[in-house]
Amino acid sequence: MSRKATESGTVMFSDGIKVQVDDVSKEFTITLSTHFDIDEIQAVILLCSFLYNEGLSLNGSSSDKSLLEELITAIMPFYYSEQLFVLHTLIPLFCAQQNSADLTHPIESENLPRIIPDGRAFTEELINEYLRKTSEGIPHNFSRDPRAASRWAKQNCKEQLGHA
């Protein structure tokens, strides 16, 4: 369904915002989705967030393949850091919600269920993802690039440990 939405040229995010996706963005989105093994709508969000926060300065390679490789190289550090920021945000929220003595406990208790309606299911999913990552081999698309494989392995460890 996400691929169909992306190809239609209009993507609706879960918060109801609609984004127009032009032909170049569609190609970038599909490349990001494939490379990072994420849903196409998540790839649109990643691309929009990256362009808004970092901007894009590519060398303007002569081939489409080189341009797509430049995009991946440019966006990879941003993508990895965003994954860690999510962990850095959620962990303190969970801790404050569980500790009634914490000054922010009332705020967290009220707002965290809005962000994560089913905390138990979310936690189980997170644990299952960690367990999957501990036994995961290097993705095929990194097997020919030792530096990319090394970055991926380091990121995998950082995510499992929950720190930068």
68 lies in a domain? Answer: no
Residue 83 sits in the same domain as residue 138: yes
62 lies in a domain? Answer: no
70 lies in a domain? Answer: no
Q: Using a CB cutoff of 8 Å and minimum separation of 24, what contacts does 52-57 make?
A: 53/78, 54/78
Residue 44 sits in the same domain as residue 98: no
Residue 48 sits in the same domain as residue 107: no
Q: Per residue of the chain (164 residues), what is the pLDDT tens digit?
A: 677 778 788 888 878 888 888 888 888 888 898 888 888 889 999 998 998 888 877 665 556 677 888 888 889 889 988 888 887 888 888 888 889 999 999 988 888 888 888 888 988 888 888 788 788 888 887 778 888 888 888 888 887 776 65
Residue 38 sits in the same domain as residue 100: no
Domain total for the chain?
2
143 lies in a domain? Answer: yes
- The stretches of the chain forming alpha helices (DSSP H) are 2-8, 23-36, 40-53, 64-98, 105-115, 119-135, 146-161
CB-count exposure of residue 86 (10 Å: 0-12, 13-18, 19+): exposed
Residue 5 sits in the same domain as residue 36: yes
- Local structure of 12: helix, strand or coil: strand
Residue 87 sits in the same domain as residue 127: yes
Residue 157 sits in the same domain as residue 92: yes
39: left (phi over 0), alpha (psi -120 to 50) or beta: beta
CA distance readout (Å), 50 to 5, 46, 86, 121, 124: 20, 6, 15, 29, 29
Q: 43 is in which domain, residue-wise?
A: 1-55
* Cβ-based neighbour number of residue 81 at 10 Å: 13
66 lies in a domain? Answer: no
Residue 83 sits in the same domain as residue 163: yes
69 lies in a domain? Answer: no
149 lies in a domain? Answer: yes
